Chains A and B, each alone.
Chain A
Amino acid sequence: MVAPAFDYVAAASYDEAVRLLAAEGDEAKILAGGQSLMPMLNLRLAHPGLLIDINGADGRPPTLDQAGGVLRLPALTRHRVLLEHDLVRQHCPLLADAVRYVGNVRVRNRGTIGGSLAHADPTSEIGCCALAAGAEVVARGPDGDRTVPAAGLFAGYWATTLARAEVITDVLIPAARPGQGWSFQEMVRRTSDFAIVAVAATVYLAERSVAIASARVALAGVADRVVLADPDLVGLAGRTADEDLDAAADRIAGRLEPPDDVHASGAYRRRLARVLVARALRQARDRAAGAAP
């Protein structure tokens, strides 16, 4: 298994990467961490004529910051940084926790948050968290920057709504306000493997109350893309009891039609989704109430 021959350019800036993408069209692929693209090349599942390496496009090392309630993660932030950086732990603990499930130590040393989102794997932990945390991506194109909410980014198996010549440069995540509860739950057959089903949840309680004010639930491994559960299905405003959370899990899972594949049947995935959503909501609620670490 040897990669097909391709040409290679190390882009000195995102603008250069965008220019090259616009000029080369479908022949070109962006190379970020390479932890998904390189296996696809080695297996000859992809045949690009040109790889545009953006590892040097943003100056280095990437600098994370938090201002005005928004955590800004440069697209080239490696998974290992997400796992270990104080700003991520503080402002998006959901993501810091979930990254433990991504690949192995080598994948986390090279893989990037922007690359993971652009790859749009339907079992992506990072995509799942981006949905549950209400993240946006900044996409640079020939006409400048625009922001795309994660909820509008994923278009199907390994497909996004980004235009051909757009590149993700940053990921913006609303910083967790005090009192946010969160949970990440995943089922895999072997540690570090692709998720069979994963669930990310965030919960806020109403002020001076144990009742839930808002909750977001995202799922991976249940469709052709990572999905955000319809807020009407979550429907937990004013609720807090275990039975309410279980009913929400039933509603969410009942609406899913996960595909069968070699790893699991659709019926098993739906059952997993119900169990994991219920667990995630309970843990997120307990964390929001200060009752769980």
Chain B
Amino acid sequence: MTKRQIVLDVNGQDHETWVLPSQTLLDVLHDELGLADVRYGCGEGVCGTCTVLLDGEPVSGCLTLAVQAEGHRVITLRGLMGPGDALHPLQECFLRRGAAQCGFCTPGMVLTALDAIKRLGRPTRDEIRDALVGNLCRCTGYTKILDAIEEYADLAAP
């Protein structure tokens, strides 16, 4: 099991790194590239804290091998922020609505919600719940998260 050199396209930048074939994308993004917005939660693809966009679609970083991501575009929450770490408008809604307490689930919530809005336009509250079924929050009880996403969806709707 020798390490191999790969180039990962993360948030629009190429990163050369050496990885074991058995290292997950989560391991490499968090531990090697220092991206603290991709988080280890369950390691089974259930909790959603390691959500990243792979070629634009949400996937579990813990269930994707780093070597599999070579040649694909990886976006983490940080990739959606503006210059000087300016917050994404959905993050502003999370702040305004008190939708983040400990914040551990927030990156996965935001990325997954944006995917649902991209696909459904203005999803109903039930559709948002359904889209977020794979993103666990142990603090908020979800209500404020749904409020924040609905507020953003209203702002973003054409």
Contacts and interface: CB of A to CB of B under 8 A. Distances in A.
B1 A53 contact: no
A38 interface: yes
Interface residues of B, number: 31
A115 to B, nearest CB: 12
Interface string B101-132: 00000000000100110000000000000110
Nearest to B1: A5
Contacts of B21: 5-8, 51
A90 B122 CA distance: 26
Nearest to A78: B57
A192 B131 CA distance: 10
Nearest to A50: B21
B11 interface: no
Main secondary structure of the interface of B (DSSP, over half): mixed
Interface in A220-234: none
B68 A55 contact: yes
A119 interface: no
Contacts of A106: 45, 48, 51, 58-60, 63, 112, 134
Given A5-B1, A42-B43, A42-B44, A192 B133 contact: yes
B68 A192 contact: no
B99 interface: no
B43 A104 contact: no
A281 to B, nearest CB: 27
Contacts of A107: 45, 60, 134
B74 to A, nearest CB: 14
Nearest to B61: A106
Contacts of A39: 43-45, 63
Q: Which of A1, A7, A34, A104 has the most CB of B within 10 A?
A: A104
Nearest to B65: A8
A23 interface: no
Contacts of A104: 45-46, 48, 133-135
A105 B63 CA distance: 13
A191 interface: yes
A109 interface: yes
Contacts of A105: 58, 112, 115-116, 131, 133-134
A267 interface: no
Interface in A167-200: 191-192
Contacts of A43: 43-44
Interface string A5-48: 11110100000000000000000000100110011011100000
Given A43-B44, A191-B133, A35 B63 contact: yes
Contacts of B46: 104
Interface of A: 1-8, 10, 31, 34-35, 38-39, 41-43, 51, 53, 55, 80, 103-107, 109-110, 191-192
Top 8 A-B pairs, shortest CB-CB distance: A104-B134, A8-B21, A38-B63, A42-B43, A39-B44, A1-B43, A5-B1, A192-B133
Given A38-B64, A192-B133, 12 more contacts: A5-B21, A7-B21, A38-B63, A42-B24, A42-B62, A55-B68, A103-B134, A104-B48, A106-B58, A107-B60, A110-B63, A110-B64
